[in-house]
Amino acid sequence: MSSDPGTPSHFPVKMRPEILALPAYKQGSAAPTGFKLSSNENPFDPLPGVLEAVDAATRQLHRYPNAAAPEITARLAKEWGVETDEVIVAAGSVALLVQFALAAAGHGDEVVYSWRSFEVYPWMTVLPGATAVPVPNTPDHRHDLVAMAAAVTDRTRLVIVNSPNNPTSTIVTKAEFETFMGAVPDDLLVILDEAYAEFITDPDAVNGRELVRRYPNLVILRTFSKAYGLAGLRIGYGIGPAPILGAARTTIMPLSLTDHAQVAAIASLDRSAELQERVANIAARREVVWQALLEQGWDVPRPHGNFVWFPTGERTAEALEVFRAHDIIARAYLPDGVRLTIGEEESVENVLAAAEEIARLIG
Ligand SMILES: Cc1ncc(COP(=O)(O)O)c(C=O)c1O
């Protein structure tokens, strides 16, 4: 039994109470049958050339990976028109989020983000012992960037902006983001998490590509997990000022980025035409689903990622059950709503039948 006042008395060893109180990260449900639309994954197979590249890397499994990732780093630097020290690559953008939090925020420091947003933000804030400052979304499920800027204090060390926002699929506009960056101190780290950027079709949306080298305190995060369909391999990257990325390099989990992920990312970047085609396909399906939902009477915010948000509120658990009865595994965010990924074409009929039933049920 522990006698440490910070550790619960039933706990066998002394540990950090804030970690013991933290729920572990919960993945979207798997689907033994039906359509798994709970994790914002890509329904397409890996792009041509990816499996061959991964297969070749598998022959070197007895070796540690080259975690410095020189080839994919150089390739991304070229794609983004920056130097290699302005690129950071890691085993998923989640890993990068944790690295930046560890590098920037400690005990007594604050991390500001919009809420509801990506579940990792509160979790990654607690890890280094910092304090979360969630700022409620607007009634139309968007970031309230004015309130987020107002929430910044001299203890704030990191602000995260997520566009499109997971799980509400709403965007921040270019103009909103510019005003926000003008309102926060330029020695405060801002992360623009654009995990779903490739699915955006609205020209007014903020776009990290246009912001490269614009601000001394901005890091843009992207991932190969969503549009590129490499979720299972774990690779994401950041673009930003070299000194900030250098600090985040020191907090990496050593050797966690595999060679498989690196070669698969390069092979995927070689197939940009096919990627564009797939992304356009998913974006078009998203529009069809959204329009049909509006016709059913849903007040669903216009989706910009590869997912749709149903603001089902207190009826969320029931809504999830109806989706399940229609062979759709969705993701519930109690007590706010349901997030549903745009998946296989064959799933659309079931999604719309379930949505219609839920609309009738909850009026
Ligand atoms: C907003 C957001 N950022 C980052 C990620 C993480 O992506 P990765 O697979 O690169 O860790 C996700 C994944 O769900 C996400 O929704």
Please list the pLDDT of the chain residue by residue as tens digits (363 residues). Answer: 445 667 777 889 999 988 998 888 777 777 678 999 999 999 999 999 999 999 999 999 999 999 899 999 999 999 999 999 999 999 999 999 999 999 999 999 999 999 999 999 999 999 999 999 999 999 999 999 999 999 999 999 999 999 999 999 999 999 999 999 999 999 999 999 999 999 999 999 999 999 999 999 999 999 999 999 999 999 999 999 999 999 999 999 999 999 999 999 999 999 999 999 999 999 999 999 999 999 999 999 999 999 999 999 999 999 999 999 999 999 999 999 999 999 999 999 999 999 999 999 997
Q: What's the CA gap between 5 and 235, in Å, rounded? A: 40
DSSP structure class, residue 306: S
If you take atom 2 of ligand 1, which residue's CA is the nearest one? 195
Ligand 1, pocket-test mutation among 38, 40, 166, 307, most atoms within 8 A of CB: 166
Q: What's the CA-to-centroid distance between 147 and ligand 1, angstroms?
A: 24
Nearest to 238 by CA among 43, 47, 101: 101
Question: What are the φ/ψ torsions at residue 267 (nearest 5 degrees)?
Answer: -60, -35
Q: What values do phi and psi take at 81, rounded to 5?
A: 65, 40
Task: List the residue whose alpha carbon is closest to atom 3 of ligand 1.
Answer: 195
Say what the pTM is.
0.96
Contact 83, 134 (CB under 8 A): no
- Residue whose CB lies within 8 A of the most ligand 1 atoms, among 37, 40, 76, 93, for a mutation test: 93
CA dihedral 246, 251, 254, 257 (to 10 degrees): -70
Q: What is the CATH number of domain 50-269?
A: 3.40.640.10
Q: Which residues line ligand 1 (CB under 6 A)?
A: 40, 92-94, 118, 162, 166, 193, 195, 223, 225, 231, 236
Q: Which pair of structure tokens corresponds to residue 128?
A: 């280094």
Pairing of strands 131-136, 87-90: unpaired
**Rounded CA gap, 311 and 20, in Å?**
31
Query: Which residue out of 94, 137, 161, 256 has the highest number of ligand 1 atoms within 8 Å of its CB and is therefore the one to mutate?
Result: 94
10-46+273-362: CATH class: alpha beta
- The kind and range of the H/E element at 329 are strand 328-329
Where along the chain do the CATH 3.90.1150.10 domains lie? 10-46+273-362
Going from the Cα of 322 to the center of ligand 1, the distance in angstroms, rounded, reads: 27
Contact 148, 110 (CB under 8 A): no
Q: Give phi and psi for 36, each to the nearest 5.
A: -85, 100
The strand pairing partners of 133, in sequence order, are 112
| Span from the CA of 8 to the centroid of ligand 1 (angstroms) | 33
Q: Say whether the peptide bond before residue 16 is cis (omega within 30 degrees of 0).
A: no
Specify the DSSP element, H or E, that contains 277. Answer: helix 272-295
List, by residue range, all CATH 3.40.640.10 domains of the chain: 50-269
Peptide bond into 241 cis (omega under 30): no
Residue whose tokens read 């990191």: 158
Q: What amino acid is encoded at 127 in this protein?
A: L
- What are the DSSP calls for 225-274, one per residue? SSTT--TTT--EEEE--HHHHHHHHTTS-TT-S-HHHHHHHHHHHTTHHH
